[in-house]
Amino acid sequence: MFIFSLHFIFDVTHLFKSLQNIDIRILELINHNRIKSLDNFFIFITDTATVVSYSVPVILLIYSYIKHFILLQRKSWLLLITLIINSAIVDAIKYMVNRPRPFITYHFIDKLVSVSSPSFPSGHAAEVFALAISASLLFSKYKWGIFAAWLWAILIAYSRMDLGVHYPGDILGSLLISAVVAFILYKVFINFNFLKNKKKPEAF
């Protein structure tokens, strides 16, 4: 039993080191081969994550209350609640895992923006993925809007690696967490019939 435990610990440690090596190699490839003339563009893009993520549901809420669109109100509230809960979970995981930023562990990584929190998972990526996934579930008939949301989310996620502040694994972790949170909350709203409006048909 003791020997089996040692083998298990060794295998897990070896797997972790292998994944870490893959993580840093992909990041190095992205960070060192970036188009430097686009640095300011990606800095701008990465700074839009929180502002845009929370502005979308707030603007939709204001519009829905002005127009008295009950269903849109509920969808907008779900978007906002998903963002808040997802961010809280991601922040909690961030400080529990406490993974150092890549530029701290690997000094050859170029850091282009200031950050202070731990690395895993990415808060910026989590916000934009939560919005894109929830919007896909709630507004599926608006194909161009969904496309724009995902294009923007992918650009944000890529920018975090391009700017040297997150590993690919941080981005993947954010995507998985955001997907789980978004789907669970969507199912809760569906099960309690919060996403139905029997009184008045609405475009949304």
Give the SS3 label for residue 148.
Answer: helix
Percent of the chain topping pLDDT 90: 82
Q: Residue 136: which residues within 8 A CB-CB, separation 6 or more?
A: 146, 149, 150
pLDDT tens digits for 69-114? 999 999 999 999 999 999 999 999 999 999 999 999 999 999 999 9
d(CA 52, CA 33): 28
Give the pLDDT score at 8: 40
pLDDT at 107: 93
**What is the C-alpha separation between 76 and 60, in angstroms, rounded?**
6
Whether omega for the bond prior to residue 201 falls within 30 degrees of 0, making it cis, is no
pLDDT the model gives residue 11: 46
Please answer whether residues 181 and 89 qualify as being in contact, where contact means their C-beta atoms are separated by less than 8 angstroms: yes
Condensed to tens digits (0 to 9), the pLDDT of residues 177-198 reads: 999 999 999 999 998 888 876 5
Mean pLDDT for 38-46 is: 96
Per-residue pLDDT, 86: 98
Q: How far apart are CA 150 and CA 196, in angstroms?
A: 26
Q: Which pLDDT score, from 0 to 100, does residue 195 have?
A: 81
pLDDT in tens, 87-99: 999 999 999 999 9
Rounded average pLDDT over 124-132: 97
- Give the per-residue pLDDT at 20: 84
Q: Over the stretch 139-179, which tens digit does the pLDDT of each residue have?
A: 999 999 999 999 999 999 999 999 999 999 999 999 999 99
Average pLDDT, the chain: 90
pTM, full prediction = 0.88
Q: Does the pLDDT of residue 16 top 90, yes or no?
A: no
* Across 121-129, average pLDDT: 97
